[in-house]
Chains A and B, each alone.
Chain A
């Protein structure tokens, strides 16, 4: 399965959430590849704690160079072994976890037909090896997104393609996410141009709400009653807006609660961070686990 991760705007926590999903899914036993296609800011290396690829690789063998045709195959990094957060070996029962990093100083580029072909070849190779390939795209519409969407259109019906659209839980973000998916030249329309039906496209797209503070969460216990009731009202309004804009419950793959670790140090949240040092909230780990487990679920 190929999972395309995108977001309406920057700062939604798309990369950090996607990285955590990759980590959790691998722990659940699948072979997982994280493909960093956020060419403007390939930061997955930093999130996974891989120093040599903190802002993309410097060797000129990243995903960006590959698409440009500079290398025959992009470099791969074994996250279990290389990550400074982890124990330098694959945990028992876990699948493989591999990063195909971007290039430092990559940047955007114009789409050329050969790039779509190269991208298709890369994805086909990766689907031979990995159960789940998470492709991290940049925020909003990008050339990278066009290339990947073009490449997945002919990858073969046996390889399901899903979209995860990350957005924060605010009015502006809901509207922007709606535009990105359902708007003019949005993901659905692009898909229709590539030969998918509207139903197929809508079936393949799910939203992930990030940094959500539910009104009844214990973190908000210190609010004054007036604040609490106002917050409740806002939340209700957002739920209504989301439902109207096609981002309602049936379209949601998960809700990631606000978490200090994700805000201040974008990183993989390990069980150790929840149980021992307790810097991260158990709800966050649970949310990642749930979304990761249900990635392959077709209908909700």
Chain B
């Protein structure tokens, strides 16, 4: 029923390049009456006692929790429906932007297994955010399966992220009095290794789409090396490299966290667009017209200034935002929404003024008498 709009799905899976970074971001309005301050953000994101929360204040306040690591052993998604087991860990974190937007994201970098059999947990736990795939199929098959509608009993990064977001949203620090109703958005992303053929010249443009269920998909091809080593190519190569003692922790740290930040940033802006678009979409529907204009108030006060695409992106990933501004054109849509809101406000002020004026004119002669 809900065929995804991406074209990467293949019926005959090929090896496809490894590794593949999978992730999902859930975005919501913080359940609070107003934007919260830095101290509250820090306390909200302190997911474990004395865990460090990274806080930035420029160009926009942003807090990021420490990574939460969870062990998983489950079936991995597969576009062709193959049975591929995954063992390893996923990394999740919570983010608060502008004291107002709450997010949780989960990710895992999937690599082919280094050993044919499952190892001790300690081996997996030492490499945070890495899942080893035990079974046939390549990176493309995995990506296609991940972007297709979710199937039960398969790795569910969205559910993990959602639980973490629930933890933030049900915190007793929040008063629960959100000034406007918004829907949580789901952004799934896949970052595939940039392949050996393309070279470092021009990366393939990112693909962003919204499918029928409201799931957003971001598909990127990026340098997943981080360390500068060549890791693309056939899985055997990588397996050999891993056996040779490739530092996987360095490997992950070299790219996944930055890519995560980028995807969270895309998710924040997509969410802002979604919320504001819905507010203006219903504006001219008759019965509740006045009420609806009032409903925009909180969005103007609390959300409009949060638009800052690419504010926290690493310079080497800025090409992704540039491409997204071209297509689908986030800032173009935003500008059009903001203009619409301004017009509506001007109109409503004008209406109020002319209504008052009318009364004043009527009252005028009476006063003279």
Measured CB to CB, the residues of A under 8 A from B are 27-29, 31, 72-73, 92-94, 120-121, 124-125, 127-131, 154-159
Q: A72 — which chain B residues lie within 8 A by C-beta?
A: 156, 159, 162-163
Q: What would be 9 A-B contacts, judged by CB atoms less than 8 Å apart?
A: A93-B287, A120-B170, A121-B166, A127-B31, A129-B184, A156-B31, A158-B176, A158-B177, A159-B176
**Closest CB-CB distance, A3 to chain B, in whole Å?**
15
CB pair A157–B176 under 8 Å, yes or no, is yes
Identify which of A128, A130, A159 gathers the most chain B CB atoms within 10 Å of its CB.
Answer: A128
**Residue B148 at the chain A interface, CB threshold 8 Å:** no
**Nearest 6 pairs of A and B residues by beta carbon:** A158-B177, A156-B176, A29-B288, A93-B287, A158-B175, A158-B176
Q: Which residues B139-170 have CB closer than 8 A to chain A?
A: 156, 159, 162-163, 166, 169-170
Which residue of B32, B184, B291 contacts A125 across the interface (Cβ within 8 Å)? B184
Q: A154 — which chain B residues lie within 8 A by C-beta?
A: 170, 172
Query: How does the 8 Å CB contact mask read for B16-36 relative to A, with 1 for contact and 0 for none?
Result: 000000000000110111000
Known: A73-B162, A121-B170. A128 touches B285 (CB 8 A): no
Q: Which A residue sits closest to B28, measured CB to CB?
A: A128
With the chains together, A155 CA to B171 CA distance in Å?
A: 9
With the chains together, A73 CA to B159 CA distance in Å?
A: 9
**Residue B127 at the chain A interface, CB threshold 8 Å:** no
With the chains together, A93 CA to B291 CA distance in Å?
A: 10
CB pair B162–A128 under 8 Å, yes or no, is no
**Residue B332 at the chain A interface, CB threshold 8 Å:** no
Query: How does the 8 Å CB contact mask read for B232-269 relative to A, with 1 for contact and 0 for none?
Result: 00000000000000000000000000000000000000
With the chains together, A94 CA to B286 CA distance in Å?
A: 9
Known: A125-B169, A129-B182, A156-B31. A93 touches B176 (CB 8 A): no
Q: Is chain A's binding surface mostly helix, strand, loop or mixed? A: loop
Q: Which A residue sits closest to B184, measured CB to CB?
A: A128
Which residue of B170, B183, B285, B289 contacts A124 across the interface (Cβ within 8 Å)? B170
With the chains together, A245 CA to B307 CA distance in Å?
A: 56
CB pair A156–B177 under 8 Å, yes or no, is yes
With the chains together, A154 CA to B289 CA distance in Å?
A: 34
Q: Which B residue sits closest to A158, measured CB to CB?
A: B177
Task: Determine the interface band of chain B, counting residues with CB < 8 A from chain A.
Answer: 20 to 34
Identify which of A73, A120, A158 gathers the most chain B CB atoms within 10 Å of its CB.
Answer: A158
Measured CB to CB, the residues of B under 8 A from A are 28-29, 31-33, 156, 159, 162-163, 166, 169-170, 172, 174-178, 181-184, 282, 285-289, 291-292
With the chains together, A130 CA to B166 CA distance in Å?
A: 16
**Closest CB-CB distance, B149 to chain A, in whole Å?**
14
CB pair A128–B29 under 8 Å, yes or no, is yes
With the chains together, A157 CA to B173 CA distance in Å?
A: 11
CB pair A157–B175 under 8 Å, yes or no, is yes
CB pair A124–B181 under 8 Å, yes or no, is no
**Closest CB-CB distance, A19 to chain B, in whole Å?**
21
Known: A73-B162, A156-B176, A158-B178. A128 touches B31 (CB 8 A): yes
With the chains together, A72 CA to B31 CA distance in Å?
A: 20
Known: A29-B292, A158-B176. A128 touches B287 (CB 8 A): no
Q: A27 — which chain B residues lie within 8 A by C-beta?
A: 287
Q: A130 — which chain B residues lie within 8 A by C-beta?
A: 181
CB pair A158–B33 under 8 Å, yes or no, is yes
CB pair B175–A125 under 8 Å, yes or no, is no
Q: A31 — which chain B residues lie within 8 A by C-beta?
A: 181
CB pair B159–A93 under 8 Å, yes or no, is no
CB pair B176–A124 under 8 Å, yes or no, is yes
Known: A127-B178, A156-B31. A92 touches B172 (CB 8 A): no
Q: B176 — which chain A residues lie within 8 A by C-beta?
A: 124, 127, 155-159
Q: A156 — which chain B residues lie within 8 A by C-beta?
A: 31, 172, 174-177
Q: B182 — which chain A residues lie within 8 A by C-beta?
A: 128-129
Known: A72-B159, A93-B286. A128 touches B292 (CB 8 A): no
Q: Which B residue sits closest to A60, measured CB to CB?
A: B152
CB pair A125–B288 under 8 Å, yes or no, is no
Q: B184 — which chain A residues lie within 8 A by C-beta?
A: 125, 128-129
With the chains together, A292 CA to B282 CA distance in Å?
A: 21
**Closest CB-CB distance, A161 to chain B, in whole Å?**
10
Q: B156 — which chain A residues lie within 8 A by C-beta?
A: 72
Q: A94 — which chain B residues lie within 8 A by C-beta?
A: 287
